[in-house]
Amino acid sequence: MLKRVIIDVSGIVQGVGFRPFVYTIAKELDLKGFVLNNGHGVHIEIEGTQQKLNLFLTRLQDELPPLAQIDKIKKVLKKPQGDRSFVIQESNQSQKTALISPDMSICDQCLTEFYDPHDKRYHYFATNCTHCGPRYSIIETVPYDRASTSMKFFRMCQACEREYHDPLDRRYHAQPISCYDCGPTLTLYDAKHQKIDSQDLIKKVATLFNQGAIIAVKGLGGFHLMCDGYNYESVTLLRQRKNRPLKPLALLFPTIEAIEENSKVTPFEKVMIQSKEKPIVLVHKKTDTQIASNIAPDIDRIGVMLPYTPLQFLIFEYFKNPLVATSANLSHEPIIRTKDELIKKLGNVVDYILDFNRDIVNAVDDSVLQMIDQRPLFLRLARGFTPKSIPLPFKLNKKILAVGAEQKNTIALAFDDQVILSPHIGDLNSIEAFDYFERTMQTFKQFYDFIPDLIVCDRHPEYATTLWAKKQQIPVLEVQHHHAHILSVILEQQIHGQVLGVAFDGTGYGDDHTIWGGEFLVCGDDTSYERIAYFKPLVLLGGNKAIEEPRRIALAMAFEVMDLDSVKKTKISDWFSSTELNLLHKAYQNKINTIQTSSVGRIFDGVASLLEIVHVLSFEGESGLKMEQYYNEKISNYYNFTINHGIIDYDPMISALLQEDNLIRGVSMFFNTLIEIIVSIAHSQNLPLVLSGGVFQNKVLVSLILKRLGKERIKYYFPQKTSPNDGSISLGQIAYGIRHSRNN
């Protein structure tokens, strides 16, 4: 007996070859009906025998095209209509809720053509198909059609048009489709904006790299600054010109073999490096490599990635060394998208610019992660992973916008039964960065015809995002920063019931107007939480200046355990003049220009300084990253601590570290102490643990904690698909907004 089913599929199902995929299975199973795109996703009406329909549904989920992601499938039975064939029908776009795919690295089939001298797209720098290439970065609005992308300026040639309209071609409706005859072209400029004419542009580029040149190369979501990763002088020049003395630089390698030659890669890291998202993965450096030693000075790890655009593959046809590939931007500003802006801002940094005339509409950085065994720990969620959709198990009656934090900003939108997380926007410390924040906001509002009923922001009164939220004449909710950290994991993993949130962080505004960041929060199923324990507050001497200078934290720590005269007899006296010590002690005693903080991030800084690892930071997270290499797992001791009325007192650690002359013992015991503190509080609460906050970007700390919690049989949740850092604050804010709306 024939049956007819209506199937509605939502998720990333448009612009990813989903309809041809449905069409092919239906044809193979001799089923009748039609498929079309609508505002919610893909709509299928299909009829045949029950057995074949079952088979169809199984294959629909098992054989998904590479870029597709099914969030939900809704099925309804209907009377058979007696269709004679299966067809792809034209779109009927009503409401805009279909999801937009992230940009994806070139696929194997496109790459095969790219290497085939007989193919029409041999060595073509902008080849792509329905399963790969630019998406989010070129989209202006939805529905996702060529006319709503930056490819609208290129008229398809007849051959491309044929592929574009053939449902069985792998470029069917590939919006950025193009070839040598009709697509974008490459141009090389020098820093004075003069076009360089060359018969073989990429050969010329390779020669320039060999000569030590710094070249800005246009990528998917912005420009990279590139130079030879084996050339110490080039890297030095790049660092000098960019005024970036120490911050590690990522490397783009031609092949996985080249990565393995230069670094120790675990099988799980290898899988991630080769994944279709092609993120930057932090791996352990080998000691005897050709990599310039100033790529990541004093750090035992490097960020590596594989090429993901055909242009990058093309460069590696002629240049064989790894390339430094760092985002082209001024510090505190977003990644640069256009040649003109590049010349204006980084004209004195680069020697040449390799540009092409397909515009980048939405900037997006490379994603960065590290592996904890087989678990990814995201440091930056951007290209390949975002925009990200998280399905909700219920339907919302409100549209909620979350504006995120001030650092590592992202925004998030919630409507219907889903949450959408934007790519990493960055630190909002400049007008340019804030413009980028507002532009991203506009982009997402336009994508989804989104006007929020409710905005959620951080409780910090001076965050630019908070001020923005309050100007919108839409109801606003404020969420405590660390509560949002914990809620982001609760939302990501759909956790129910009470949990013990452990938020180890750099900075976040506390309910008592001090800076928090070492918090144990019991979170209810509603919008409430209770701060049951926190680290004994430290004094930031000179306020924010102490965040840049760990030696000031070390000094404040010392003042907690001894008087000025005794401090003058310790190693600290070498780091300050006697006048400075006297002044800072007065400031400490009288609380002049000081801020109180319970931040574990600052404790890391203080400990790194006490152990003479770093006294003045040159990039964020430096102390934790540098400490990792000194941890020795054979050392199991830890420092004594007490917990009184919820205040974690670690004075014995400070006293010990002031005397410590063994770096390895000091670092190891410090990490062990943090673990003991977490375990002891976890046992006292007997609740599942939820861990988040920027300090949990530390690989050693996280591996130790997860191992230990497993051993202690303490149930825990740790971010899986999102980051523990402030990039997830917007998600946590959404979770708060949802909880609030459901109770009001």
Interface ranges with Zn ion (CB under 5 A): 107, 110, 129, 131-132
Residue with smaller CB distance to Zn ion, 66 or 646: 66
Active-site pick, 4, 37, 329, 672: 37
- How is residue 291 written in tokens? 């990599």
Active-site pick, 4, 19, 383, 739: 19
Strands, DSSP E only, in 291-365? Answer: 301-305, 323-327, 352-356
306 binds, among Fe ion, Zn ion, none (CB under 5 to 8 A by kind): none
Shortest Cβ distance from residue 395 to Fe ion (Å)? 30
Residue with smaller CB distance to Zn ion, 109 or 659: 109
335 binds, among Zn ion, Fe ion, none (CB under 5 to 8 A by kind): none
Residue with smaller CB distance to Fe ion, 103 or 505: 505
Of 163, 269, 492, 505, which one interacts with Fe ion (CB under 5 A)?
A: 505
Considering only CA atoms, which of 338, 340, 322 is closest in space to residue 235? 322
Element (H, E) at 351: none
Segment interacting with Fe ion (CB under 5 A) among 41-49, 501-509, 530-538, 696-704: 501-509
110 binds, among Zn ion, Fe ion, none (CB under 5 to 8 A by kind): Zn ion
Q: How far is the C-alpha of 198 from the C-alpha of 182, rounded, in Å?
A: 21
Q: What single-letter amino acid sits at 328?
A: A
Considering only CA atoms, which of 733, 58, 77, 71 is closest in space to residue 411? 733
Residue with smaller CB distance to Zn ion, 132 or 556: 132
Q: Which residue has the tokens 């949002």?
A: 484
Segment interacting with Fe ion (CB under 5 A) among 7-15, 43-51, 499-507, 639-647: 499-507
Shortest Cβ distance from residue 729 to Fe ion (Å)? 6
Give CA 628 to chain center in angstroms.
21
**Cβ atoms within 10 A of the Cβ of 424, count?**
27
Residue with smaller CB distance to Fe ion, 409 or 440: 409
Q: How far is the C-alpha of 384 from the C-alpha of 67, rounded, in Å?
A: 10
What letters, b where the CB count within 10 A reaches 16 and e where it falls short, cover 84-120?
A: eebebeebebeeebbbbbbbbbbbeebbebbeeeeee
Of residues 63 through 92, those in contact with Fe ion by CB under 5 A are: none
Residue with smaller CB distance to Fe ion, 355 or 505: 505
726 binds, among Zn ion, Fe ion, none (CB under 5 to 8 A by kind): Fe ion
132 binds, among Fe ion, Zn ion, none (CB under 5 to 8 A by kind): Zn ion
- How is residue 502 written in tokens? 């452990």
**What are the φ and ψ backbone dihedral angles of 46, each rounded to 5 degrees?**
-145, 140
Residue with smaller CB distance to Fe ion, 110 or 425: 425
DSSP letters of 352-379?
A: EEEEESS--SS--PPPEEEEETTEEEEE
Shortest Cβ distance from residue 104 to Zn ion (Å)? 8
478 binds, among Fe ion, Zn ion, none (CB under 5 to 8 A by kind): none
Helices 663-685/651-659 angle, 10° precision: 170
Residue with smaller CB distance to Fe ion, 387 or 508: 508
Residue with smaller CB distance to Fe ion, 406 or 622: 406
Shortest Cβ distance from residue 724 to Fe ion (Å)? 9
Shortest Cβ distance from residue 312 to Fe ion (Å)? 33
Of 163, 365, 622, 726, which one interacts with Fe ion (CB under 5 A)?
A: 726
Residue with smaller CB distance to Fe ion, 279 or 727: 727
Shortest Cβ distance from residue 547 to Fe ion (Å)? 13
Shortest Cβ distance from residue 101 to Zn ion (Å)? 13
Shortest Cβ distance from residue 275 to Zn ion (Å)? 15
Cross-strand partners of 402: 412, 456
Segment interacting with Fe ion (CB under 5 A) among 198-206, 281-289, 347-355, 498-506: 498-506
Q: Taking CB under 5 A as the rule, which mask of x and - marks residues 370-399 in contact with Fe ion?
A: ------------------------------
What lies within 8 Å, CB to CB, of 286 at 6+ separation is: 261, 262, 263, 264
Q: Taking CB under 5 A as the rule, which mask of x and - marks residues 667-706 in contact with Fe ion?
A: ----------------------------------------
Active site residue 357: no
Residue with smaller CB distance to Zn ion, 163 or 228: 163
Considering only CA atoms, which of 149, 175, 150, 147 is closest in space to residue 160? 175
C-alpha to C-alpha distances, 395 to 118, 624, 741, nearest whole angstrom: 52, 41, 12
The answer to whether 556 and 513 are in contact (CB under 8 A) is no
**What are the φ and ψ backbone dihedral angles of 492, each rounded to 5 degrees?**
-55, -40
Shortest Cβ distance from residue 166 to Zn ion (Å)? 15
Cross-strand partners of 597: 515, 538
What lies within 8 Å, CB to CB, of 467 at 6+ separation is: none
Residue with smaller CB distance to Fe ion, 461 or 710: 461
458 lies in the site for Fe ion, by CB under 5 A = no
Shortest Cβ distance from residue 500 to Fe ion (Å)? 18
C-alpha to C-alpha distances, 293 to 230, 300, 356, 616, nearest whole angstrom: 9, 11, 32, 21
621 binds, among Fe ion, Zn ion, none (CB under 5 to 8 A by kind): none
Applying CB under 5 A, the site for Fe ion has a residue count of 3
22 binds, among Zn ion, Fe ion, none (CB under 5 to 8 A by kind): none
Considering only CA atoms, which of 122, 318, 77, 312 is closest in space to residue 217? 312
- How is residue 140 written in tokens? 């202006």
3-state helix, strand, coil in the chain (%, to 5): 35, 25, 40
DSSP annotation of 408: S
Q: What is the CA radius of gyration of the chain?
A: 27
Considering only CA atoms, which of 585, 525, 579 is closest in space to residue 552? 585
**What are the φ and ψ backbone dihedral angles of 215, each rounded to 5 degrees?**
-125, 135
Considering only CA atoms, which of 441, 513, 527 is closest in space to residue 484? 527
505 binds, among Zn ion, Fe ion, none (CB under 5 to 8 A by kind): Fe ion
Active site residue 37: yes
Q: What single-letter amino acid sits at 564?
A: L
Q: What single-letter amino acid sits at 292?
A: A
Shortest Cβ distance from residue 486 to Fe ion (Å)? 11
C-alpha to C-alpha distances, 682 to 26, 319, 483, 709, nearest whole angstrom: 53, 53, 17, 9
Considering only CA atoms, which of 381, 172, 300 is closest in space to residue 625? 300
107 binds, among Fe ion, Zn ion, none (CB under 5 to 8 A by kind): Zn ion
Three-state DSSP class for residue 279: coil
Q: How far is the C-alpha of 313 from the C-alpha of 252, rounded, in Å?
A: 11
Q: Which residue's C-beta sits nearest to Fe ion?
A: 505
Segment interacting with Fe ion (CB under 5 A) among 11-19, 568-576, 719-727, 733-741: 719-727
Q: Taking CB under 5 A as the rule, which mask of x and - marks residues 347-366 in contact with Fe ion?
A: --------------------
Element (H, E) at 476: strand 476-479
Shortest Cβ distance from residue 20 to Fe ion (Å)? 44
Q: Which residues of this chain interact with Fe ion, rule CB under 5 A?
A: 505, 508, 726
Positions marked catalytic: 19, 37
